[in-house]
Amino acid sequence: MTLSLREFSRQIVHLLLGLLLTAIVYFFGKYNGLLAASAVLALGFFLSFAISRKAGVKALGKFVKQVERRHERKLPGKGALVFLLAIPIIIALFYAFPLKVVLGALLVLSVGDAFSAIFGMAFGKTRLFGSKRTLEGTIAGIIASFLALLLLFAPLTAFAAALLGMLAEHLPFDDNFTIPIVAGVVLIIL
């Protein structure tokens, strides 16, 4: 698999959206982060509907088409919408726990998943578990997540959450949910 400009752009959009919403949670708290993430999700659904109806959002529709995977085009922005759906769910799921847990789970999702995809497509050779995912991508995701988590956690905790969170990407469920849930649970336990 090779890294196309489309896929690179898609991953950068996910990374930036995730980091923006993580920053909102960090600076304004879980409650306001939950409201902001829910508002961005609602806006995303509205824009997806408008794009699908060709209702005056031509430039945005063109951008979405350029960064979207071909098999996701029936619902404009589907990949971003699923990603955006995961963020308020993760905030709500870990709401009762310290802010660092929510931030850590969101960082592993945002940073780890993007780096895993980018490096896996660009340099990946060794397929894992019979899937499209690669050892090289998983290692890149672990390293990127670990470095991001070091901003909030001790090295051993950061490494455990990064490792297990990124390995959860290989579970047979949507990785937008498995990655942050597993990482968050590890952060709670440790």
* Residue carrying structure tokens 């455990």: 160
Instruction: Give the tens place of pLDDT for each residue, 7-63.
Output: 888 889 889 999 999 999 999 999 999 999 999 999 888 887 777 776 555 555 555
> Running DSSP on this structure, what letter comes out for residue 55?
-
Range of the domain at 172: 5-189
Enumerate residues 6+ apart whose C-beta is below 8 A from 23: none
Task: Please tell me the total count of domains within the chain.
Answer: 1
C-alpha dihedral, 133 to 138 to 141 to 147, nearest 10°: 180
**Per-residue model confidence (pLDDT) at position 172:** 87
Of 118-122, 128-132, 154-158, 160-164, the one with minimum mean pLDDT is 128-132
pTM here? Answer: 0.86
